[in-house]
């Protein structure tokens, strides 16, 4: 019979083995830290009721597309009640869905269906302004308390004013959408501030009540099932209290936003305290309700210093957003960038991040030209591969997964965006954001399968028969399939936990490697090397200049549509040939394929469960005896 001592010794061995395996596993990460956030622009995603405008039920109907693609989180541009002056960014009721998009019940149904598929829904939160049709504004105009001071009101300047004349605008502040940021209210006989459209009056953040209103709005949507918030135009929330003129930046066009330096209307330090406060509201909700982390991502086009402050206070004691959008791929890089520009700009962001924070890379959004148009068609897969394999979170815009292009040739008559319309028929074209907002291309049928309405809210891109989801699903090789494969690989531990290093080989070739350290002999560690050729010339590179691993061959794991290689090809890493615009990922040679299972720790766990089973059976057997 088995003595108690033997049993104890067996158990002790088991514990030791188990702790060994788990010590090797990295700390688990939260759902949002390694995910891809897919932005849905609801007006243009899928139209379920054939009125030419996408809607909430349309998103629910297409959730399977996200699931099939491998996407587990999406952020929605606003679907709240709105006169649609700025296409939903002018909210007239923050707690209700606009009838154009459906009902609150539709949104709740979306939350439920998304949850079933394991997809998190992030809502757009627009605190800087409301619509001028919001009840708060209507009452504020009439000086009805407590709304009287909900907005930024000003008497205007009486300099040189003749009797009976209306006061002049208070100062030289211009709206982002062109023209003075001040609008006269006949009703109240005062000016109100609008940093965006006239229909988007700025809320007064020096009034505590305004902040509290938004606390409640956050709680309302968290209760309904929102997994997070994208905070719109957050750095516009505060303005200096004395309404000083801003210094002149570009005197050539006094009506343009670029006319002044926005040092008194943007990036004010007070902003960060409100952000920290909302973070507390969210964290408190998570704690009280024992739900998954609810995340906050902030939208601010700001310099590095002011952007990084959205993570936490300089001393690290005050927590703010989970991450501020990183717009370097949109703002600082483009079709003319060299590999060294990529390296410099990526490294600079990583070096500036506060310790222990999660990074992110935004590839596109509804405000900026699409990747295909910014970087050129041939670079789509390279850019996708880059954001999918860099450390941290990736943020992509609907349509990028099939490489949709801008439709720049929308006529002035069909143009809807105030940023375009305000410039008039001569100059609207390059300022308008409509080109990147045209409806999604599902297939090659009427209206690309987006809607059966005779007219869609924006015209369809004329080339949808060439570029659409169905066609790309059926093709052997397509940008869509590339995304699907990249999203799968991204789940491996090399990408969720791995270290990162990069290299600019020459003007054209950018390489990066992700690897995890788990072997005495480093060259055996699991890794993936990504090589992107941004130009139309062929290059031969030596991978070991970037990363040294064991063996003299490597296997191709993923290829872009421009690639000359095939997945599974064995290549010589000391002379890797990259064709024009080639984007490629290589890993350990297939001889080591067994080791690959280790990449996500599953092999280690398998060994442990087998061992556990063995110990239990042995114990049972011995005990019975
Ligand atoms: C953000 C939105 C943009 C909108 C603006 C005003 O920048 O992304 O679409 O026009 O805020 O709300
Ligand atoms: Mg509709």
Residue with the bigger pLDDT between 103 and 25: it is 103
Co-location of 459 and 520 in the same domain? no
pLDDT greater than 90 at residue 562 = no
- Give yes or no: residues 403 and 349 share one domain: yes
Between the CA of 58 and the centroid of ligand 2 the distance, in Å, is 8
Indicate the pLDDT class of residue 599, thresholds 50, 70 and 90: very low
Mean pLDDT of 518-539: 95
Residue 580 lies in a domain: yes
Q: What is the pLDDT of residues 263-284, one digit of tens each?
A: 999 999 999 999 999 999 999 9
Whole-model pTM: value is 0.91
Please report the pLDDT score of residue 19 as a whole number. Answer: 46
Domain assignment of residue 155, yes or no = no
pLDDT value at residue 11: 63
Q: How confident is the model at residue 20 (pLDDT cuts 50, 70, 90)?
A: very low
Helix, strand, coil percentages, rounded to 5, for the chain: 35, 15, 45
pLDDT at 608: 45
Residues 581 and 611 placed together within one structural domain of the fold: no
**Span of 78-92, 93-107, 157-171 with lowest mean pLDDT:** 157-171
Percent of the chain whose predicted confidence (pLDDT) is above 90: 87
Ligand 1: list residues with CB < 6 Å.
86, 89, 126, 196, 232-233, 299, 366-367
Q: Which of 86, 90, 235, 395 to probe ligand 1 with, by most ligand atoms within 8 A of CB?
A: 86
Burial class (CB in 10 A: 0-12, 13-18, 19+), 575: exposed
> What's the confidence (pLDDT) of residue 162?
87
Ligand 1 centroid–CA 197 distance in Å is 10
Q: How many domains does the chain have?
A: 3
User: Is 14's pLDDT higher than 90?
Assistant: no
Pocket probe for ligand 1: among 76, 85, 124, 232, the residue whose CB has the most ligand atoms within 8 Å is 232
Domain assignment of residue 569, yes or no:
yes
**Structural domain of residue 610, as residue ranges?**
4-25+604-624
520, part of any domain: yes
415 lies in some domain:
yes
Within-domain flag for 172: no
Active site residues: 232, 299
Output the residue whose Cα is nearest ligand 1's atom 11.
233
pLDDT > 70 fraction of the chain, expressed in percent and rounded: 90
Asked whether the beta carbons of 511 and 551 are under 8 A apart, the reply is: no
For residue 56, report the distance from its CA to the centre of ligand 1, in Å. Answer: 20
Mean pLDDT of the 210-230 span: 98
Which ligand 1 atom is nearest residue 128's CA?
12
CB burial class (10 A; 0-12, 13-18, 19+) of residue 108?
A: middle
590 and 619 share one domain: no
Ligand (nearest to CA of 48): 2
Q: Are strands 570-571 and 554-559 parallel, antiparallel or unpaired?
A: antiparallel
Give the model's pLDDT for residue 597: 40
Say whether both 617 and 541 belong to one domain. Answer: no
Supply the pLDDT for residue 161.
85
Closest ligand 1 atom to Cα of 126: 12
* Same domain (yes/no): 540, 578: yes
Q: Are 410 and 432 in contact (CB under 8 A)?
A: yes
Domain final residue pick, 474, 489, 519: 474
Residue 598 has pLDDT above 70, yes or no: no
Are 450 and 332 part of one and the same domain?
yes
Q: How far is the CA of 97 from the centre of ligand 2 (A)?
A: 13
Grade residue 594 by pLDDT with cuts at 50, 70 and 90.
very low
Task: Give dist(CA 31, CA 26) in Å, integer.
Answer: 15
| Dist. CA 530 → ligand 1 center (Å) | 34
Task: Determine the atom of ligand 1 nearest the C-alpha atom of 419.
Answer: 10
Question: Could you tell me if residue 244 is inside a domain?
Answer: no
pLDDT in tens, 128-160: 999 999 999 999 999 999 999 999 999 999 888
The mean per-residue pLDDT over the stretch 115-135 comes to 98
- Indicate if 361 and 464 belong to the same structural domain: yes
The answer to whether position 458 is within a domain reads: yes
Q: Which ligand is nearest to the CA of 364?
A: 1
């Amino acid at each position: 019979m088995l003595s108690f001592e033997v049993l104890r010794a067996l158990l002790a061995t088991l514990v030791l083995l188990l702790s060994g395996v788990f010590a090797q596993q990295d700390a688990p990460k939260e759902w949002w830290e390694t995910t891809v956030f897919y932005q849905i622009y609801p007006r243009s995603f899928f139209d379920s009721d054939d009125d030419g405008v996408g809607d909430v039920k349309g998103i629910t109907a297409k959730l399977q597309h996200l699931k099939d693609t491998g996407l587990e989180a999406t952020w929605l541009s606003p679907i709240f009640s709105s006169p649609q002056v700025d296409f939903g960014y002018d909210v007239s009721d923050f707690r209700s869905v606009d009838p154009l998009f459906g009902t609150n019940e539709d949104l709740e149904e979306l939350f439920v269906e998304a949850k079933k598929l394991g997809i998190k829904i992030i809502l757009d939160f627009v605190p800087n302004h409301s619509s001028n049709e919001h009840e708060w504004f209507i009452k504020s105009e009439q000086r009805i308390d407590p709304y009287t001071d909900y907005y930024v009101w000003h008497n205007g300047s009486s300099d040189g004013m003749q009797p009976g004349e209306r006061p002049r605008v208070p100062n030289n502040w211009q709206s982002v959408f062109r023209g003075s940021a001040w609008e006269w209210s006949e009703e109240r006989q005062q000016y109100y501030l609008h940093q965006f459209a006239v229909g988007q009056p700025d809320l007064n953040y020096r009034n505590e009540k305004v902040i509290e209103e938004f606390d409640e709005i956050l709680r309302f949507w968290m209760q309904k099932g929102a997994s997070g918030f994208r905070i719109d135009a957050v750095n516009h929330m505060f303005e200096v209290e004395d309404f000083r003129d801003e210094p002149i930046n570009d005197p050539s066009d006094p009506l343009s936003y670029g006319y002044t330096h926005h040092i008194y209307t943007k990036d004010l330090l007070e902003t960060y305290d409100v952000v920290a406060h909302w973070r507390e509201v969210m964290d408190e909700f998570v704690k009280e309700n024992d739900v998954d982390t609810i995340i906050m991502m902030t939208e601010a086009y700001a310099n590095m210093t002011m952007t990084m402050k959205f993570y936490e206070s300089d001393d690290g004691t005050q927590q703010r957003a989970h991450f501020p959008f990183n717009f370097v791929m949109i703002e600082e890089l483009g079709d003319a960038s060299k590999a060294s520009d990529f390296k410099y700009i990526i490294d600079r962001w990583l070096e500036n991040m506060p310790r222990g924070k999660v990074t992110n890379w935004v590839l596109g959004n509804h405000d900026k030209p699409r990747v295909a148009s910014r970087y050129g068609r041939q670079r789509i897969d390279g850019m996708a591969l880059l954001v999918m394999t860099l450390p941290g979170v990736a943020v992509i815009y609907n349509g990028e997964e099939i490489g949709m292009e801008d439709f720049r040739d929308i006529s002035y008559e069909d143009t809807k965006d105030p940023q375009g319309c305000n410039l008039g028929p001569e100059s609207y074209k390059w300022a308008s954001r409509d080109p990147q907002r045209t409806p999604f291309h599902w297939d090659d049928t009427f209206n690309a399968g987006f809607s059966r309405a005779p007219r869609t809210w924006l015209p369809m891109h004329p080339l949808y028969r060439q570029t659409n989801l169905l066609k790309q699903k059926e093709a052997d090789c397509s940008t869509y399939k590339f995304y699907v494969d990249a999203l799968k690989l991204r789940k491996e531990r090399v990408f969720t936990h791995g270290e990162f290093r990069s290299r600019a080989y020459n003007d054209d070739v950018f390489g990066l490697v992700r690897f995890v350290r788990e072997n005495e002999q480093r060259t055996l560690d699991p890794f993936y090397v990504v090589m992107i050729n941004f130009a139309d010339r062929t290059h031969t590179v030596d991978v070991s200049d970037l990363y040294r691993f064991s063996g003299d061959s490597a296997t191709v794991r993923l290829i872009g549509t421009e690639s000359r290689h095939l997945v599974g090809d064995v290549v010589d890493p000391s002379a890797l040939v990259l064709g024009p615009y080639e984007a490629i990922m290589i890993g350990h040679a297939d001889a080591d394929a067994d080791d690959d299972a280790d990449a996500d720790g599953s092999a280690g766990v398998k060994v442990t469960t087998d061992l556990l089973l063995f110990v239990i059976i042995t114990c049972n057997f011995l005990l019975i005896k």
